[in-house]
Amino acid sequence: MTGTSDAEAPAPSRTSPPIIAVDAMGGDNAPSEIVKGAVMAVRELGLRVLLVGRRTEIASLLAEEGALRDIPVVHAEDNLAMHEGALASWRRPRSSAAVSCRLIRRGDADALVSAGSTGGIVATSTVRLRTQPGVLRPALAVTLPTGETPTIMVDAGANADAKPEMLVQFAHLGCAYAQTAFGVRRPRVGLLTIGSEPGKGNKLVRRATELLSATAEGSPSMDFRGNIEGHDLLARKVDVVVTDGHTGNVALKSVEGTAAFAMDLVRDALTSTAAAKAGALLQRKALRRLRERLDSETYGGAALLGLNGTVVIAHGDSRAKGVARACQLAHDLAGGRIGEQIRRRVHHRSSNWLHRLAQSEAPPPSPPGALPPAPEGR
């Protein structure tokens, strides 16, 4: 198969289910839990998966699971360490993440799933997959554990310093996600800020409010609801929460940290006295369901939106179940053609100033050193 030489060429149309390249070497529990997760994705969820990483290591793990014939392995001799940030990742063209991106560009895969370091995966996939036409910056979208139809937050950390025009696009990216993964036709969008009244917030939010109000007015595909606050994140007030990567990342981790803290308190409270312990025995099932509800593993991973290919980043400490869930999310997004959704929304909705800005903006951030232009061969 020949590689496509233009990163912006549309992905080949497929009617068959999407193929998910799983980065076997990324994550605290790689490769063993990652391989188990891939096997789970194939056997229990019926997905099409291939594993990318050191062939012999992966093969022996697959053999243990009796899955050597079920999942193809693509060799990659290098991998990104968990502590490695954006810069290092640019210098590793043979990492499992980089090789996975190459598979996507060639049309041999549709999506990448990795539990590697977020910074490294964002940098690697941004530079190797490139942003879709008109998209200023890719953004991380996460789902908050609000129930049946989760609330999506964009950006959860890819862009620490954002501009108002980027927040407008994050809204479109989030809406495309809500429509593709959860079938929400006209997602409700809220801007995360410090007060519910219009005009509250920092300069970035105030300007983004004006732009979003103008963009969304009368739109059949976005219902802009104005400001929302931190305590609304889990209250199902909106389908898409828009924020910059700094605020979004802090908010997400505050939610996760508080949920973990509350669960610890519950456990302590319920085992503090003999009577309470007896009570806890009676509640085992109820508490297990509660734990699952607050457990981040049940919510797939973060999706990096706006690139020429679907990228899902699972929690660094993911175990097999988390990896399988991330594969399911990648399958849903790639299978639902989220790329086309985004293209339509960004092209259709963007007014002229956004296009001009996109044109004048430099292409996706390049490394300070020289990177050979998107290596194709091994």
State the residues that interact with a second copy by CB under 8 A: 83, 85, 119, 157, 160-161, 192-195, 197, 200-203, 205, 229-235, 243-247, 249-263, 265-266, 269-270, 272-273, 275-276, 278-283, 285-287, 289-290, 293-294
Residue written as token pair 């809220």: 190
CB nearer to a second copy: give 58 or 313: 313
Our CB check for a second copy shows the closer of 59 and 270 to be 270
Nearer Cβ to a second copy (148/161): 161
Q: How far is the CB of 156 from a second copy (least distance, A)?
A: 9
CB closer to a second copy, 157 vs 336: 157
Backbone CA torsion sign across 275, 281, 282, 286: positive
Burial class (CB in 10 A: 0-12, 13-18, 19+), 9: exposed
How many helices (H) and strands (E) would you count in the chain?
Answer: 13, 11
Pick between residue 132 and residue 296 the one whose CB is nearest to a second copy.
296
CB of 254 to a second copy, least distance (A): 4
Among candidate residues 246, 266, 248, the one with its CA nearest the CA of residue 258: 266
| Closer residue to a second copy (CB): 266 or 358 | 266
Is the CB of 213 or the CB of 254 nearer to a second copy? 254
What backbone torsions phi and psi does residue 21 show, to the nearest 5 degrees?
-85, 120
| DSSP type of residue 52 | E
Q: How far is the CB of 252 from a second copy (least distance, A)?
A: 7
Is the CB of 248 or the CB of 336 nearer to a second copy?
248
Work out how close the CB of 6 gets to a second copy at its nearest, in angstroms, rounded to a whole number.
Answer: 33
- To the nearest whole angstrom, how small is the minimum distance from the Cβ of residue 212 to a second copy? 17
Which of 189, 243, 248 is CA-nearest to residue 213? 189
DSSP 296: G
Burial class (CB within 10 angstroms; exposed 0-12, middle 13-18, buried 19+) of 6: exposed
What is the closest distance, in whole angstroms, from the C-beta atom of residue 217 to a second copy in the complex? 25
DSSP letters spanning 252-267: HHHHHHHHHHHHHHHH
Q: To the nearest whole angstrom, how small is the minimum distance from the Cβ of residue 253 to a second copy?
A: 3
Using DSSP's 3-state secondary structure scheme, residue 34 falls into: helix
Instruction: Name every residue whose Cβ is closer than 8 Å to that of residue 127 and which is 6 or more positions away in sequence.
Output: 90, 364, 365, 366, 367, 371
- Closest approach of Cβ 119 to a second copy, in Å? 7
